[in-house]
Structure 1
Amino acid sequence: MAEHRIQHGEATLFARTDGVDDPTAPTILFANSLGTDLSIWDDVLPRLPDSLRIVRFDKRGHGRSSVPPAPYAMGKLISDAEAVCDALEVRDAVVVGLSIGGIIAQGLAVKRHDIVRAIVLSNTAAKIGTRATWDERIATVRTQGLDGLVDAVMERWFSRPFRESPEIERWRALFLSTPPEGYIGCCAAISHTDFYTPTAALRLPTLGIAGSEDGATPPDLVRETTDLVPGSKFELMRGVGHIPCVEQPEAYARLLTRFLTDIAHP
């Protein structure tokens, strides 16, 4: 394991590499969701093939990355991901993006064919929500902080049994620890993004993953985006919400491993 800090414009991006310590090894890049950090993948990593190089990073405004002033543009978030990949010599990678991380994955796949060999679109879409919805969420954070959203967010993120378990406290605390400026910045980026046309032009191995209890990106929305890419595959995970890698890491890792095997990576 190694930790990295990468300067990109006004942002300092925190990244971590695990697994094989060799940039030429088969690589998987993870991009996490809004209001979380790279720890959402912690329980998935040990269940993946040990021949992989694994790269994770915190997008600007989240986790251990710096918090430039909001708003952010999706193009800037994508170029941040590029900067991480270039600094860490990531090439021909499978990019796994969850929620906003999935939007970043789509943009990176369109822009950098040398970096992205295949994508996993997890609990995401080419367009998520409406501008009015995101503006309302931004206004709530500005007036009430993240406390004004946390209960509704937990309902979208997790199934009822998980919400009623002691584990929920860790993820509730993680959400509340997100810098409000970073959260607002990324909300603004999502609100202005519609990737239907560029994503429909992609021609690369693609797997879509949805959660049956996902209140943020329902299964039909994830399937609609996945189906934009010819030859793509779609998997529905039962009994999980918006962050299935947390609720069912073993099942999630199995889906990833099967996809990696199907495309011979590694």
Structure 2
Amino acid sequence: MNRSERGRHEYEGLMGFLPENGLGEVLRTSPQMYETVVEGAFGGALSRPELSRRTRELATIAIVAAAGGAERRLASHVRGALRQGVAPSELLALCEHVAVYAGFPRALDALVVVNEILEEAGIPPQPTLHKVALADHETVVAQKGDSGPTVILSHSLGVDWRMWEPVMERLSHGRRVLAYDMRGHGSAAGAPRPFTMDDTARDLLGVLDAFDADTAHVVGLSMGGGVAQTVAVRAPERVASLALLATTDYPFPAFEDRARSAEADGMEAQIVPTLTRWFTPEALATNPWGVRYARERIRRFHPADWAAAWRAFKGLDVQDRLASLAAPTLVLAGERDASTTPEIMSGIAERIPGSTYQELPGVPHMQTLENPVQVAEALDAFLPADR
């Protein structure tokens, strides 16, 4: 493969179409410039594997945005970044990064271009974020949808509200959907510790109070499912329905081991055992947004918050009271969940009278980050909506 062929191959792999289509005007007006771009750039440095295509597009967007005055080229590379699996939230964060190092005028111009391309691609706007003061700390609540039944989403240990972002758009059709940062997580990192599952339940109810919601459809995944169950048995009058995803109704002995490991070994040591519990080998190999997001959330976690969360989860105490639950309940298991297995999940369903058990084929523990379409479909079918 000569430089021209390598350049054509790399351009098409990056942008999704042949260079003569993307650079047709350049080819027509200056064949020499066309050759320089395709053979010199795409057939040279840009074809080297030391930087992934995704990384190169992020770097290119940052450089072009910082330089300013090349909005057409910036738009082209934003499209290329989306093609390489860069998430909208990553592009928006990149604009914030540019603001720090190149100034707000350049960053704001870049933000306009990014938003235009996201709209062009049919990507829905980001959720609206609200700062909410709870009893002893502040958190952030992401909102999608302004009317209809209120749905509140409680996330897994180790991440934050963005765990729910891949399903929020679908769920917001005819519903008001709220996803918040649990204490010790995300914007609520450093909240008072130690804390208990009862504290996390009061936090969820505090979010509902802040949005004037007397009742809500409560959805929780993993530790978030423990929070949801705790709310359901402590304040059943506030729970219109319950959806339990990849969770447990009793603590595991390993919870204390995970707390101690963070304290002794730090957060880098938590990445491999956690991600291999959460995702399939296929997802870990291809490294999509959900895996990248989860890895960074774990890496940036404060060990004391991590340990406090695991010790709170260790205090989960709901199993003996599940039989009293009257709210409609969906128990959603992943076929390939190695952490909260279908056996564990079906046991929860058996202990909740009238509950519905559903097993998602091929789905691991971190359901919304690896298989959001299947999860959104199941929740959309279960949750009532105004339509």
Superposed pair shares fold, TM > 0.5? yes
Which residue number in structure 2 is paired with residue 225 of structure 1? 348
Which residue number in structure 2 is paired with residue 145 of structure 1? 266
Which protein has the bigger strand share? 1
CA distance in 1, matches of 2:252, 2:192: 23
Which residue number in structure 1 is paired with residue 39 of structure 2? none
Output one character per residue of 1:57-113: Cα deviation in whole Å (capped at 9) or x when no partner: 001110111413432211111111111111111233211100111111111122223
Partner letter of residue 6 of structure 1?
V
CA distance in 2, matches of 1:184, 1:76: 16
Which residue number in structure 2 is paired with residue 122 of structure 1? 245
Superposition map of 1:141-180 within 5 A? 141-167=262-288, 168-180=291-303
Matched, 1:108 2:231: yes
Confirm or deny: 8 A CA contact 1:62 1:179 kept in the other structure. no
Q: CA deviation at 1:162?
A: 0.8
Decide which moves more: 247-256 or 3-12: 3-12
Q: CA deviation at 1:49?
A: 5.1
Which residue number in structure 1 is paired with residue 138 of structure 2? 12
Superposition map of 1:44-55 within 5 A? 44-48=167-171, 50-55=173-178
Q: CA deviation at 1:155?
A: 0.8
Query: Please, what is the CA RMSD of the aligned residues?
Result: 1.6
Which residue number in structure 2 is paired with residue 43 of structure 1? 166
CA distance in 2, matches of 1:202, 1:141: 35
Count of residue pairs brought into register by the alignment: 258
Confirm or deny: 8 A CA contact 2:208 2:214 kept in the other structure. yes
Confirm or deny: 8 A CA contact 2:233 2:318 kept in the other structure. no
Give the secondary-structure state (helix, strand or coil) at the position aligned to 1:152: helix
Within the candidate set 90, 95, 103, 2:218 is matched to 95
Confirm or deny: 8 A CA contact 1:71 1:184 kept in the other structure. no
CA distance in 2, matches of 1:49, 1:39: 15
Which protein has the bigger helix share? 2
Partner letter of residue 199 of structure 1?
L
CA distance in 2, matches of 1:113, 1:89: 17
Give the secondary-structure state (helix, strand or coil) at the position aligned to 1:5: strand
CA distance in 1, matches of 2:214, 2:371: 29
- Unaligned stretches of 5+ residues in structure 2: 1-126
Confirm or deny: 8 A CA contact 1:211 1:240 kept in the other structure. yes
Confirm or deny: 8 A CA contact 1:69 1:181 kept in the other structure. no
Partner letter of residue 3 of structure 1?
L
Moved over 6 A (4+): none
Note closer, same or farther for the CA distance 1:225–1:123 as it changes in structure 2 (3 Å cut).
same
Q: CA deviation at 1:178?
A: 2.2
CA distance in 2, matches of 1:9, 1:45: 26
Decide which moves more: 209-218 or 174-183: 174-183
CA distance in 2, matches of 1:68, 1:28: 24
Which residue number in structure 2 is paired with residue 56 of structure 1? 179
Confirm or deny: 8 A CA contact 2:149 2:175 kept in the other structure. yes
Within the candidate set 353, 357, 361, 1:234 is matched to 357
Which residue number in structure 2 is paired with residue 2 of structure 1? 128
- Unaligned stretches of 5+ residues in structure 1: none
Identity between Structure 1 and Structure 2 (%): 28
**Structure ranking higher on relative contact order (CA contacts 8 Å, 6+ apart):** 1
Confirm or deny: 8 A CA contact 2:166 2:368 kept in the other structure. yes
TM-score, structure 2 normalization? 0.64
Matched, 1:86 2:209: yes
